[in-house]
């Protein structure tokens, strides 16, 4: 009859015993067990944690194909068991420590993968990926193609093919600054160059924000250079388009009313409504309620992506009724006279300004919006909130924005009617008594 071995003894198993072991747990001493279950065998360590909790920790497979394998497996298991016992004596828990190490290893591996992804993620790749996922599905084919080609054609190769995480604000500013002399060499106007630069920055801003979200970079240099780009512009272009002084606007409108053609009516309508050029050019009859004198621009066509309702002054309604009577297009309010089914080109109004000798004095955008804004603010024609609501400037406070849209319609109508009345009196003093909202 076999003698029971003392539990305190270590290294109780021999290689021969390991090879011959049957189903069950076979002790090697000190809590180390050879566990055999059918054709499989493994090493297990039993120990009592500092919390007095009994735990079992797997130490790996017990190889038993031959004596050499069994000996190596036994040696490895005893070393692991020894290290675990030492840790328990120091107040640690081998299973918790193993889990911690594995977690740290996974985090290190993930960090390494992220770093490699960042190294592979150039600005070009990030931009094309964003373009494929976001821009192409949501924009027209022509606009989507222009979106990515503008970046490919204008961002210098040294920045375009650089890892996006390494692109800095100063070098991005310098890269966009290089666009200006290049475009001017092609005889492109300063206004157009400024517009191109702003579009490039906005598109890069979207790319960097998306890259931050996906962990490809941590900063957005395109956002950081926004103010610097404004500071770099000359006085005439510092964040604004050239605009006609509002005291000269009535005389200009008198000349404009005498001009014939769809471009003249489109420009006059844009001035009367203080709307953005794109909003006016894309206007459809479905957005117009002539009886209520309202024009509702859908969110999809607004810069802030929120629907905007314009209270039309009488002269604007008169323009629309005259165009409706002509039946130029079943859908578009200001259709192109050259291309069926297409809106009037944004160059049409700019060309009209040129024919009127006003290209050096104002831009279309400046005339329609900045001139109105200056008049309204300097004359105290309405509260600042009402003026901003007429201009459809995005309100950062969403609750306040909802209140503005709900409460300001009567005041906005009064303001635009006062603006139209002011513009209709070029030979008078141009002082218009304003009705209380």
Instruction: Tell me which residue of 267, 238, 239 sits closest to 253, measured CA to CA.
Output: 267
Task: Write 212-218 long-range contacts (CB < 8 A, 24+).
Answer: 215/114, 215/117, 216/117, 216/118, 216/121, 216/126, 216/164, 216/165, 217/118, 217/121, 217/164, 217/165, 217/167, 218/165
Give 10-residue mean pLDDT values along the chain (437 residues): 56 91 92 92 91 89 92 93 90 89 86 68 91 92 91 90 90 80 52 78 94 90 86 51 87 94 95 94 95 93 87 96 92 91 89 90 89 92 88 60 60 94 71 47
Domains of the chain: 15-83 (3.30.160.390), 123-237 (1.10.150.130), 246-423 (1.10.443.10)
Residue 5: the pLDDT is: 45
pTM above 0.85, yes or no: no
């Amino acid at each position: 009859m076999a003698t029971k071995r003392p539990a305190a003894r270590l290294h109780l198993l021999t290689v021969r015993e390991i090879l011959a072991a049957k189903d069950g747990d076979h002790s090697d001493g000190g809590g180390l067990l050879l566990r055999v279950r059918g054709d499989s065998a493994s090493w297990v360590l039993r120990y009592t944690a500092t919390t007095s909790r009994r735990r079992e920790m797997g130490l790996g497979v017990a190889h038993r194909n031959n004596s050499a394998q069994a000996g190596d497996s036994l040696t490895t298991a005893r070393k692991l068991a020894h290290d675990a016992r030492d840790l328990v004596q120091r107040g640690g828990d081998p299973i918790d420590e193993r889990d911690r190490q594995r977690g740290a290893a996974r985090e290190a591996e993930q960090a390494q993968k992220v770093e490699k992804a960042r190294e592979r993620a150039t600005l070009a790749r990030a931009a094309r990926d964003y373009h494929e996922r976001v821009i192409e599905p949501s924009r027209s084919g022509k606009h989507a193609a222009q979106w990515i080609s503008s970046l490919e054609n204008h961002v210098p190769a040294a920045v375009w093919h650089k890892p996006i995480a390494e692109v800095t604000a100063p070098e991005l500013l310098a890269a966009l600054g290089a666009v200006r002399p290049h475009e001017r060499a092609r005889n492109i106007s300063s206004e157009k160059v400024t517009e191109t630069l702003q579009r490039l920055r906005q598109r890069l801003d979207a790319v960097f924000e998306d890259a931050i979200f996906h962990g490809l970079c941590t900063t957005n240099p395109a956002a950081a250079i926004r103010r610097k780009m404004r500071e770099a512009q000359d006085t005439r272009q510092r964040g604004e388009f050239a605009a006609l002084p509002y005291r000269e606007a009535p005389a200009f409108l008198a000349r404009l009313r005498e001009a014939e053609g769809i471009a003249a009516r489109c420009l006059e309508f844009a001035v009367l409504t203080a709307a953005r050029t794109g909003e006016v050019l894309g206007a459809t009859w479905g957005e117009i309620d002539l009886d209520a004198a309202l024009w509702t621009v859908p969110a999809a066509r607004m810069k802030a992506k929120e629907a905007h309702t314009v209270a039309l002054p009488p002269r604007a309604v008169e323009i629309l009724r005259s165009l409706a009577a002509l039946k130029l297009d079943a859908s578009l309010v200001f259709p192109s006279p050259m291309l069926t089914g297409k809106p009037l080109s944004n160059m049409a109004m700019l060309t009209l300004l040129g024919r009127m000798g006003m290209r050096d004095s104002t831009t279309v955008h400046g005339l329609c919006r900045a001139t109105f804004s200056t008049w309204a603010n300097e004359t105290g024609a309405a509260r600042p909130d009402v003026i901003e609501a007429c201009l459809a400037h995005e309100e950062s406070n969403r609750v306040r924005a909802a209140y503005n849209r709900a409460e300001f319609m009567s005041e906005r109508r009064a303001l635009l009617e006062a603006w139209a009345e002011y513009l209709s009196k070029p030979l008078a003093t141009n002082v218009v008594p304003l009705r209380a909202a």
